[in-house]
Amino acid sequence: MISIIRHMQKNDIIFVQEIAKKSWHQTYEGIIPNEIQDRFIVAAYSSDRLLSRLENSLFLVAVLEESYSRLCKFFKYCRW
Protein backbone atom coordinates (compact mmCIF):
# COMPACT_ATOMS: atom_id res chain seq x y z
CA MET A 1 0.00 0.00 0.00
CA ILE A 2 1.56 3.27 -1.12
CA SER A 3 0.94 6.58 0.63
CA ILE A 4 1.08 10.11 -0.67
CA ILE A 5 2.77 12.64 1.61
CA ARG A 6 1.47 16.21 1.39
CA HIS A 7 1.03 19.36 3.45
CA MET A 8 -1.80 19.24 5.96
CA GLN A 9 -4.99 21.05 4.95
CA LYS A 10 -7.73 22.46 7.17
CA ASN A 11 -10.04 19.55 6.40
CA ASP A 12 -7.38 17.14 7.73
CA ILE A 13 -7.62 18.47 11.28
CA ILE A 14 -10.36 16.08 12.41
CA PHE A 15 -8.33 13.11 11.12
CA VAL A 16 -5.14 14.32 12.81
CA GLN A 17 -7.06 14.58 16.08
CA GLU A 18 -8.40 11.04 15.66
CA ILE A 19 -4.94 9.63 14.85
CA ALA A 20 -3.37 11.48 17.78
CA LYS A 21 -5.90 10.06 20.23
CA LYS A 22 -5.53 6.48 18.98
CA SER A 23 -1.75 6.58 18.78
CA TRP A 24 -1.32 8.19 22.21
CA HIS A 25 -3.60 5.64 23.85
CA GLN A 26 -1.86 2.71 22.16
CA THR A 27 1.64 4.04 22.82
CA TYR A 28 1.21 5.04 26.46
CA GLU A 29 -1.25 2.37 27.63
CA GLY A 30 -0.23 1.31 31.12
CA ILE A 31 2.31 4.14 31.38
CA ILE A 32 0.21 7.32 31.43
CA PRO A 33 -3.42 7.13 32.64
CA ASN A 34 -5.97 7.72 29.86
CA GLU A 35 -7.47 10.71 31.69
CA ILE A 36 -4.11 12.51 31.63
CA GLN A 37 -3.55 11.57 28.00
CA ASP A 38 -6.99 12.89 27.10
CA ARG A 39 -6.33 16.24 28.80
CA PHE A 40 -3.04 16.59 26.93
CA ILE A 41 -4.57 15.57 23.60
CA VAL A 42 -7.43 18.07 23.97
CA ALA A 43 -4.91 20.87 24.57
CA ALA A 44 -2.16 19.85 22.12
CA TYR A 45 -4.43 18.82 19.26
CA SER A 46 -7.25 21.34 19.55
CA SER A 47 -8.54 22.77 16.27
CA ASP A 48 -7.07 26.18 17.14
CA ARG A 49 -3.66 24.69 17.95
CA LEU A 50 -3.61 22.64 14.74
CA LEU A 51 -4.65 25.66 12.66
CA SER A 52 -1.76 27.58 14.18
CA ARG A 53 0.64 24.76 13.35
CA LEU A 54 -0.77 24.62 9.82
CA GLU A 55 0.00 28.31 9.34
CA ASN A 56 3.32 28.51 11.21
CA SER A 57 5.17 25.22 10.81
CA LEU A 58 5.77 22.29 8.54
CA PHE A 59 2.98 19.77 9.10
CA LEU A 60 2.76 16.86 6.68
CA VAL A 61 0.21 14.09 6.38
CA ALA A 62 0.30 10.70 4.68
CA VAL A 63 -2.75 9.66 2.70
CA LEU A 64 -3.46 6.15 1.44
CA GLU A 65 -3.16 6.15 -2.33
CA GLU A 66 -6.27 3.99 -2.76
CA SER A 67 -8.43 6.62 -1.11
CA TYR A 68 -6.95 10.11 -1.25
CA SER A 69 -9.39 11.24 1.41
CA ARG A 70 -8.20 8.75 4.06
CA LEU A 71 -5.44 10.15 6.23
CA CYS A 72 -3.25 7.51 7.83
CA LYS A 73 -0.34 9.40 9.48
CA PHE A 74 0.88 12.86 10.29
CA PHE A 75 4.28 14.42 10.78
CA LYS A 76 5.14 17.76 12.28
CA TYR A 77 8.38 19.65 12.40
CA CYS A 78 9.13 22.02 15.25
CA ARG A 79 12.20 24.16 15.60
CA TRP A 80 13.21 24.34 19.28
* Per-residue pLDDT tens over the stretch 7-66: 899 998 998 998 899 889 999 999 999 999 999 999 999 999 999 999 998 888 888 765
pLDDT at 67 over 70: no
Q: Which domain holds residue 48?
A: 3-77
Element (H, E) at 54: helix 47-56
**pLDDT for res 80:** 44
Higher pLDDT residue, 68 or 33? 33
pLDDT of residue 46: 96
Model pTM score: 0.76
The total of structural domains in the chain comes to 1
- CATH number of the domain within which 56 lies: 3.40.630.30
What span, in angstroms and rounded, lies between the C-alpha atoms of 16 and 61? 8
Packing angle of the helix pair 34-44, 13-28 (nearest 10 deg): 150
